[in-house]
Chains A and B, each alone.
Chain A
């Protein structure tokens, strides 16, 4: 069946550091891929998405590229800020059902 695996957290970085959160998936067909973010005390919201191979989703300085050959959708940001501290969830939709990864908590220190 479909599944999503993302790196375990927490991830702790200093402000302006480079961020990578790994996400790999298993799916039949060609799923759409997503990153959702959950800021402290708030609900989940869509961060970015990509719907086909080699597409790059981007938002708020974050980027992720849909890599079909490695079945990956790693989240990156060149320079993190304290305000990026949150839990990040990788997800896919395939067969009309969204599957979420376990989430990766990011702490950014000033």
Chain B
């Protein structure tokens, strides 16, 4: 596709339920990031995938959060036993192989998934 896509765009769930968020990066982009943005706040890094390397999970706030990515394609972010404080917009971004010449270090963001936990 032309850009990063995320689904669903909105998700309302009840406290304690599991949710799965999806990100389709731009084709050919080897790096993929997940961020969380609470209302009126900045970006909180969650996890980073780079090709087939082990992901950088240092930003995941608890073991209820996990993410997977198969190769250089789709990624899913799973939140188990959701809590009200998980309510936020979850953003995905991708960029081509970083560290190379050219515009390969610019991040391209998806529109986000707005998660509301009741």
Contact = CB atoms under 8 A, between A and B. Distances in A.
A21 to B, nearest CB: 13
B34 interface: no
A32 B105 contact: yes
B110 A43 contact: yes
A96 B50 contact: yes
Interface in A46-66: 46, 49, 51
Contact of B106 (A34, A42, A105): A34
B96 to A, nearest CB: 12
B43 A100 contact: yes
Contacts of B33: 98
A103 B43 contact: yes
Nearest to A104: B42
Interface in B83-104: 91, 93, 95, 98-99
A96 B98 CA distance: 6
A46 B107 contact: yes
Top 7 closest pairs, chain A to chain B, by CB: A102-B42, A103-B42, A44-B109, A43-B109, A100-B43, A96-B98, A93-B105
Interface of A: 32, 34, 36, 42-46, 49, 51, 89, 91, 93, 96-103, 105
